[in-house]
């Protein structure tokens, strides 16, 4: 349904107004996309490219990256700081007004200071940057004007200027903040790659997220162990094995030899299939009906590996065996669900 066909528009919001709103939204997105593309096209392949020099300096930083800006630039600075911190570049945000009242103590000579200001003339930044330089910290600026006071005062200046704001009044920071954020992302991603930052590293800084759980949770963290493992020897009757299945609540039991090596497994599904065939198995031993050579996984493997194993072989449980092949645990798909691995 098009905007003009919509029947539930507010009375004060006509179909024509709605269409204009959508057209302006498209125009905004196009202006901001053009701003980022222009930013990309300004980058040269020279090793003297300011972006390349900034990445090199940031890689050699012995301290932290301190990002600062005020107003909308401050909001963008906070996001850039968060991206740095989560991708292997220790960083913090410092409000420039608070810096002038004691927070400058956060900065050390080993730090790199990134100052963000579209005009490059922000009074609060201009008041502290000379002090930061005297302290010995390296200064990188991100402004929209190569000739601005802040650009001239910086060791490296990254030009994030845009042709115009997406705001119809050409006043509200829109495409300029988008371009600055994109430049911050470009820095962070380049640093991530140069540091050899991997998924495991990302997970360590995101332990509360889904990726963290997937990459930090090992089988030993979620498996059932000790008396909770359902296990019987191959000489017991099927009825005893069924009692073990019921007691342990895993809908299966492992079958182990004298050395505690898993040699078979029997599940609730196996029992249903026996019943469907109508066989008389009341006098059967578990060895007669078990599945031999069961799937196993090592306790030090990632829990997500267990998920993949279960999906590949369409099973709901897997046995856990150590390096000597001995049974040390058992894992049910519900254990992985509770641990939020899946």
pLDDT in tens, the chain (342 residues): 454 555 565 666 677 788 888 999 999 999 999 999 999 999 988 878 999 999 999 999 999 999 999 999 999 999 999 999 988 899 999 999 999 898 999 999 999 999 999 999 999 999 999 999 999 999 999 999 999 999 999 999 999 999 999 988 888 899 999 999 999 999 999 999 998 877 776 766 665 666 666 677 899 999 999 999 999 999 999 999 999 999 999 999 999 999 999 999 999 998 988 888 877 777 789 999 999 999 999 999 999 899 999 999 999 999 999 999 999 999 999 999 988 887
SS3 for 183?
helix
Distance of alpha carbon 165 from its chain centroid, rounded? 31
Which pLDDT score is estimated for 15? 74
**In this structure, are strands 112-116 and 252-256 parallel, antiparallel, or unpaired?**
unpaired
DSSP class of 103: G
Which pLDDT score is estimated for 17? 83
What CA–CA distances, in Å, run from 279 to 91, 258, 274, 290? 68, 29, 6, 15
Which pLDDT score is estimated for 91? 95
Which pLDDT score is estimated for 1? 45
Continuous segment of H or E residues that includes residue 262:
strand 262-267
**In this structure, are strands 156-159 and 231-232 parallel, antiparallel, or unpaired?**
unpaired
The whole-model pTM stands at 0.68
């Amino acid at each position: 349904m098009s905007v003009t066909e919509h029947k539930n528009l507010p009375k004060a919001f006509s179909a024509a107004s709605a269409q204009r709103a959508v057209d302006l939204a498209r125009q905004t997105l196009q202006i901001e996309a053009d701003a980022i593309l222009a930013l990309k096209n300004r980058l040269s392949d020279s090793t003297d490219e300011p972006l390349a020099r900034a990445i090199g300096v940031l890689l050699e930083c012995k301290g932290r990256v301190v990002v600062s800006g005020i107003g909308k630039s401050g909001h963008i600075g906070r996001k850039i700081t968060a991206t740095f911190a989560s991708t292997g570049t220790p960083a913090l945000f410092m409000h420039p007004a608070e810096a002038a009242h004691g927070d400058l103590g956060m900065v050390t000579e080993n730090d790199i200071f990134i100052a963000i200001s579209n005009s490059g003339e922000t009074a609060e930044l201009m008041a502290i940057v000379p002090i930061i330089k005297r302290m010995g910290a390296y200064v990188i600026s991100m402004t929209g004007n190569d000739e601005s006071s802040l650009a001239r005062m910086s060791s490296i200046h990254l030009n994030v200027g845009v042709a115009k704001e997406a705001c119809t009044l050409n006043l509200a920071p829109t495409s300029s903040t988008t371009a600055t954020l994109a430049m911050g992302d470009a820095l962070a991603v380049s640093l991530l790659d140069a540091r050899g930052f991997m998924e495991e590293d990302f997970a360590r800084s995101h332990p509360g997220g889904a990726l963290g759980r997937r990459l930090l949770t090992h089988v030993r963290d979620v498996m059932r162990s000790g008396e909770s493992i359902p296990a019987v020897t191959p000489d017991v009757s099927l009825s005893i094995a069924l009692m073990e299945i019921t007691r342990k609540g895993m809908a299966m039991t492992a079958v182990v030899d004298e050395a505690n090596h898993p040699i078979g497994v029997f599940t609730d599904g196996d029992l249903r299939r026996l019943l469907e065939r109508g066989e008389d198995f009341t006098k059967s031993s578990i060895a007669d009906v078990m599945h031999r050579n069961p799937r196993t996984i090592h306790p030090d493997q990632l829990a997500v590996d267990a998920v993949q194993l279960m999906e590949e072989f369409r099973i709901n449980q897997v046995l856990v065996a150590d390096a000597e092949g001995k049974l040390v645990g058992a894992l049910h798909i519900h254990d992985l669900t509770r641990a939020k691995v899946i």
